[in-house]
């Protein structure tokens, strides 16, 4: 595939999402390494606008599992919630007698989302380098208002992504990505690929098995994109309230 290999590249190239974990604890040293990896992530303008809430309380874990609708959430392993956090910097400015400045603007919200998401990916890579597995939980966005309540989050914070981390108890296959020519361009954006240009990739996707020990084939890529995942009437029930929660939390008041 690629001519260059090293330990780090190989971890990245072989990333697989893990959705089943052993009942083996993530060790305190592993957790420390994960937090350190998150914190050393690049941060826009040195604003450091994210926080992590580690969820150990079983009631809260069950509540979050319910929101996500996935039985592995808050089951075995650690559940970390990555929070866009402009609250800390607002509090600093207010204590120093200042206003909150541009923290309520869309561009600062986007910066916070970027800081937070970059940190999630570094945490994933760090976990995999230690033999742990992860699944990023966009599903916490199914009910952001409830997530805010569960974690007692103040204004100018938003729970963005969860991360379940643990010792893998499954070996999924590498999931084939779109051919590079449809994703990497030079200087200008080309015409979108046609269905027939995507046919060979569709073929690859349908012959890939999600788990080696299963006989379940998956739908072709174009069929997935055309289907329920994106259908207007299939929105997870509170996903349409995301914009409202973002605004209620004090973000992007100029949007």
Segment near its own copies (CB under 8 A); pick from 26-34, 66-74, 164-172:
26-34
Q: Which DSSP letter does residue 217 get? A: B
User: Closer CB to its own copies, residue 100 or residue 167?
Assistant: 100
Distances in Å between the Cα of 207 and the Cα atoms of 172, 183, 201, 225 are 14, 21, 10, 17
Examine residue 24 and tell whether it contacts its own copies (CB under 8 A): no
Question: Alpha-carbon distance 93 to 83, whole Å?
Answer: 20
Structure tokens given for 159: 């729970």
Examine residue 11 and tell whether it contacts its own copies (CB under 8 A): yes
- Tell the smallest beta-carbon distance from residue 119 to its own copies (Å): 8
Segment near its own copies (CB under 8 A); pick from 65-73, 118-126, 164-172:
118-126
Segment near its own copies (CB under 8 A); pick from 69-77, 128-136, 164-172:
128-136
Residues 204-243 that bind its own copies (CB under 8 A): 221-222, 224-226, 229-232, 235, 239-240, 242-243
Examine residue 199 and tell whether it contacts its own copies (CB under 8 A): no
- Backbone phi, psi, residue 19, to 5°: -125, 10
- Backbone phi, psi, residue 54, to 5°: -85, 125
- Tell the smallest beta-carbon distance from residue 12 to its own copies (Å): 5
- Tell the smallest beta-carbon distance from residue 209 to its own copies (Å): 14
Question: Alpha-carbon distance 161 to 14, whole Å?
Answer: 22
Q: Taking the chain, what is the end-to-end CA distance rounded to the nearest angstrom?
A: 43
Query: Strand, helix or coil at 215?
Result: coil
Segment near its own copies (CB under 8 A); pick from 69-77, 83-91, 164-172:
83-91
Q: Which DSSP letter does residue 83 get? A: E
Query: Strand, helix or coil at 249?
Result: coil
Examine residue 140 and tell whether it contacts its own copies (CB under 8 A): no
Segment near its own copies (CB under 8 A); pick from 67-75, 146-154, 165-173:
146-154
Examine residue 40 and tell whether it contacts its own copies (CB under 8 A): yes
Q: What angle do CA 222, 224, 230 make, to 5 degrees?
A: 110
- Tell the smallest beta-carbon distance from residue 177 to its own copies (Å): 4
Site string for its own copies, 155-184 (x = CB under 8 A): --x--xx------------xx-xx-x-xxx
Of 42, 71, 173, 203, the one binding its own copies (CB under 8 A) is: 42
Question: Alpha-carbon distance 93 to 88, whole Å?
Answer: 9
Of 75, 118, 204, 211, the one binding its own copies (CB under 8 A) is: 118
* Count of residues engaged in binding its own copies, rule: CB under 8 A: 122
Residue 200: alpha-carbon gap to chain centroid: 29
Question: Alpha-carbon distance 18 to 141, whole Å?
Answer: 20
- Tell the smallest beta-carbon distance from residue 145 to its own copies (Å): 13
């Amino acid at each position: 595939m690629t001519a260059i290999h090293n330990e780090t590249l190989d971890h990245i190239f072989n990333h697989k999402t893990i959705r089943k974990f052993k009942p083996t604890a993530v060790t305190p040293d592993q957790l420390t390494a994960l937090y350190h990896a998150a914190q050393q992530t690049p941060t826009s303008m040195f604003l450091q606008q994210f926080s992590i809430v580690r969820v150990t309380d079983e009631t809260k874990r069950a509540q979050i599992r319910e929101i996500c609708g996935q039985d592995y959430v808050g089951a075995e392993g650690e559940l970390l919630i990555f929070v866009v956090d402009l609250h800390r910097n607002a509090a600093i400015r207010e204590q120093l007698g200042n206003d909150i400045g541009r923290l309520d603007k869309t561009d600062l919200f986007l910066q916070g989302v970027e800081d937070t998401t970059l940190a999630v990916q570094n945490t994933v890579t760090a976990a995999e380098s230690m033999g742990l597995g992860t699944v990023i939980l966009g599903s916490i966005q199914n009910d952001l208002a409830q997530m805010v309540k569960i974690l007692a989050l103040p204004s100018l914070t938003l729970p963005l992504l969860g991360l379940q981390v643990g010792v893998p108890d499954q070996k999924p296959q590498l999931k084939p990505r779109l051919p590079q020519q449809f994703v990497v361009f030079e200087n200008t954006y080309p015409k979108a690929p046609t269905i027939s240009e995507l046919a060979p990739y569709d073929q690859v996707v349908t012959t890939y098995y999600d788990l080696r020990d299963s006989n379940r084939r998956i739908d072709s890529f174009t069929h997935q994109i055309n289907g329920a995942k994106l259908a207007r009437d299939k929105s997870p029930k509170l996903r349409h309230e995301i914009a409202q929660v973002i605004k209620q939390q004090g973000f992007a008041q100029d949007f």
